[in-house]
Chain A
Amino acid sequence: MTLIIGGRSAGKLDYVKSLGYSEEQISRDPGDDCPVLYGLQDTAAEDPEGAEALLPLLLKKELVVCDEVGCGVIPLEKRDRQAREAIGRLCVLLAKNADRVVRVIAGIPTVIK
């Protein structure tokens, strides 16, 4: 599994498509058999406490794409703080288990693992 991270609108989806994946191969549902899981930050935010349990499903994917969300100020609402925390922790776990980690900035991918 390759983890692709980067800020909102940094060019992650364009990068995925540049690797040859089509729209039909990209989904937001970790449970289906699409090779690419996109928007992990939203999936994890739905149930922050259960986010870690997604790990086995995510590791079956070829690509997992997640926004980096930890470089802003602390959110005002508790549920947002919990979601932000869960997304960050999940990304650390994913990165640990990933074969590769790619960070996209201004549309430019850099392999960081």
Chain B
Amino acid sequence: MLILLTGGAACGKSAYAERLTEGYEGRKYYIAAMEPFGEESLKKIARHREMRSTRGFETIERYTDLEHLVLPEKGLALLECLCNLTANEMFSEKGAGRDAVGAVLRGIETLKKQTDTLIVVTNEVGSGYDTYGDRTPEYIDNLGIINRAAAALADQVIELVCGIPIFLRR
């Protein structure tokens, strides 16, 4: 079972994702893709840790190369999020660079094989007005391709708007 959650920033994706995992009996893994750069990301990470602390998650920090991640045992995984993972694969030293899209998608496949429930969180970033002079458009395109491929693989695709789930596919 693969569930893809999408939506804008701070729209309640994480909280909804964690609610979806309630009542799950097996091992629960939280795959954190956000590299802690500076105070802002540390704050966000602390907030997410707090939300998960009572829910029995084992946290695995994995910023790149998801495709070679081996989980200790089959279970549920919550992957958060494709927007960070894609940026890491594109821009980080250890990333896949030009093969970022392939690396992320193979990573999702790898996780899917090792889980009975996989919840993937991503982000909508393509609805701004493109006035970026740098590699941002390339990032937006890559994340768009990844989101479409992930949605095609998913059993359910849910968009969150102000914390309200909108079922794009169920």
Contacts A106-B151, A107-B148: A8 and B127 contacting too (C-beta < 8 A)?
Answer: yes
Q: Which of B6, B8, B129, B130 contacts A106 (CB 8 A)?
A: B6
* Chain B residue with the shortest CB-CB distance to A104: B148
B54 on interface, CB distance cutoff 8 Å:
no
Chain A residues with CB below 8 A from B157, complex form: 106, 108
B3 to chain A, nearest CB (A): 13
B131 touches A106 (CB 8 A): no
Chain B residues with CB below 8 A from A67, complex form: 126-127
Nearest 6 A/B pairs, CB to CB = A72-B128, A9-B144, A7-B126, A107-B148, A71-B127, A8-B126
A69 touches B128 (CB 8 A): yes
Q: Which of B128, B129, B131, B147 contacts A107 (CB 8 A)?
A: B147
B124 on interface, CB distance cutoff 8 Å:
yes
What CA separation (Å) do A69 and B147 show in the bound complex?
Answer: 18
Chain B residues with CB below 8 A from A14, complex form: 148
Q: Interface SS of chain A: helix, strand, loop or mixed?
A: loop
| A interface residue numbers (CB < 8 A to B) | 6-11, 14, 67-73, 75-77, 80, 83-84, 87, 105-108, 110
A110 touches B127 (CB 8 A): no
B129 touches A10 (CB 8 A): no
What CA separation (Å) do A84 and B169 show in the bound complex?
Answer: 30
What CA separation (Å) do A17 and B150 show in the bound complex?
Answer: 20
B38 to chain A, nearest CB (A): 20
A83 touches B129 (CB 8 A): yes
Q: Mark B116-133, 1 if CB is under 8 A from A, else 0.
A: 000000101111111100
Chain B residues with CB below 8 A from A72, complex form: 127-129
